[in-house]
Amino acid sequence: MRGGGGPVIKTARGGGLVTVAVQAITNNRMITFMPRIEPSPKKYRSISRMAFDESKLAAELDALPADLKARMSALGFVRADFIEQARSLTMGDQKTRRTLRNRVNGEVRVPAETDLPAAPIGTEADRLAAIGLSALKRGALAFCVMAGGMATRMGGVVKALVPVIGQASFLDVRLAENRRFSEIAGRPIPLWLMTSEATDHKLGTALTHANAPARVKTFMQNVSVRLNLDGSLFKDAAGHPSTYATGHGDLPDSLRRSGLLDTFVKSGGEVVWITNVDNLGATIDLSILGAFLESKKDVMVEVCPKVAGDKGGIPAWAEGKLQVLEEFRLPEGFDATRVRVFNTNTFLVRASALLEARYASRYFEVEKTVDGAPAIQFERLLQELTANLPAAYMSIPREETASRFEPIKDNDELERRKPNLAAIAKARGILP
């Protein structure tokens, strides 16, 4: 693409396949949709495009309230990128377009057992824990908790503030964990919370009431507005623009934007450990930290064995690398059950790589029902790190107090997990 023109649309045919790439380059960032469809009937050999009324969308964006435009601009919204996303909604029928947008190219292979080593135990764990402890004592680690999103899953309350062990909330337990490991390190370990417009104010208030130390910081993820199926601006039942957080894949950009990562790296920081606020099994583990440092990789993903009913991203060989793929990205006919582990959304990332990496953000088209009407939003996934940085994997336990995977998606699951969460916190010296 040259200058500030429209998107580049490239179509290539070969071997009975049609590949379409839509690229938009803005502010030195590129959004790329590089999908593929299988050999198919004639009607799929080209992509039909409906008319896209860019001037209408531009006028709708211009008419947004000034305070909303300012917030969006401050939180990563790029108008040109958004318009190209809207334009893409007019490219072909939904099923074909989403197949093209989402599926990976080429062969996908199941990982070997050696690709997914188990968490260390015994003398090997002790050896690696010594490496981890040394790193902790020299200030190598920051811990980052994802506490953003739309605050809709637990009755409309901010999940981080829900009581989970007695009266202690998820946030309280994270603060206690940070105190515990800061004591072990003999120095403050930075604790960062990625918030959203839906969670930031209440979390900030809770941190003030808890007298959280200065090493605990918040930063906000991106915000955007939803679209109608035809690429025009979606309005809610009250006629207002409908905002949303654009997914945990915002974290690299949002963390860089905050300045926290740059300061951490300049002070000698080496590793950022990232996990969900609701997974209290994913605490600092010195042997896992040591294993990551010894791996020399830029990313380590914690995966765990599947049990009945589990669904989620799986590690798979695709496009020349072992990466985490959601099931909607897998080729038609690929049996995801052949991979017996899945992504826990806990990552150790080399801080310098996270700071310096500049890769094309892949946005996925998601259809939601908002106020009874269909709406489109574009989201990013944090596991895209594994498609762009050298990654290692570790298969972690999920049983009893050794469990590192205790996610809470709703109140029923919270009630089921409470006894083991309390036992974990006690066994690891986090709570009495």
**Which string of DSSP letters, residue by residue, matches 126-164?**
HHHHHHHHHHHHTT-EEEEEE--S-S-TTTTS-GGGSEE
- Same structural domain, 87 and 116: no
Q: Are 431 and 173 in contact (CB under 8 A)?
A: yes
- Same structural domain, 160 and 42: no
Report how far residue 431's alpha carbon sits from residue 173's, in angstroms, rounded to the nearest whole number: 8
Q: Are 245 and 149 in contact (CB under 8 A)?
A: yes
Q: Which of 381, 9, 364, 346 is nearest to 145 (CA)?
A: 346
- List pLDDT tens digits, range 216-251: 999 999 999 999 999 999 999 999 999 999 999 999
Tokens of 174: 């994270």
- Same structural domain, 88 and 182: no
- Same structural domain, 91 and 144: no
pLDDT score for 48 = 55
Query: CA angle 314-318-321, nearest 5°?
Result: 95
pLDDT score for 24 = 33
- Same structural domain, 212 and 356: yes
Which of 102, 131, 164 represents a domain boundary (last residue)? Answer: 102
- Same structural domain, 206 and 145: yes
Which of 102, 124, 151 represents a domain boundary (last residue)? Answer: 102
- Same structural domain, 171 and 78: no
Domain that holds residue 186: 109-427
User: How many domains does the chain fold into?
Assistant: 2
- Same structural domain, 50 and 199: no
- Same structural domain, 90 and 215: no
- Same structural domain, 121 and 263: yes
pLDDT score for 417 = 97
pLDDT score for 98 = 85
Q: Is residue 3 part of a domain?
A: no
pLDDT score for 267 = 98
- Same structural domain, 80 and 115: no
- What is the CATH classification number for the domain harbouring 337? 3.90.550.10
Q: Which residues of the chain have pLDDT under 70?
A: 1-49
- Same structural domain, 130 and 217: yes
pLDDT score for 36 = 32
Report how far residue 111's alpha carbon sits from residue 317's, in angstroms, rounded to the nearest whole number: 6
Which of 102, 135, 151 represents a domain boundary (last residue)? Answer: 102
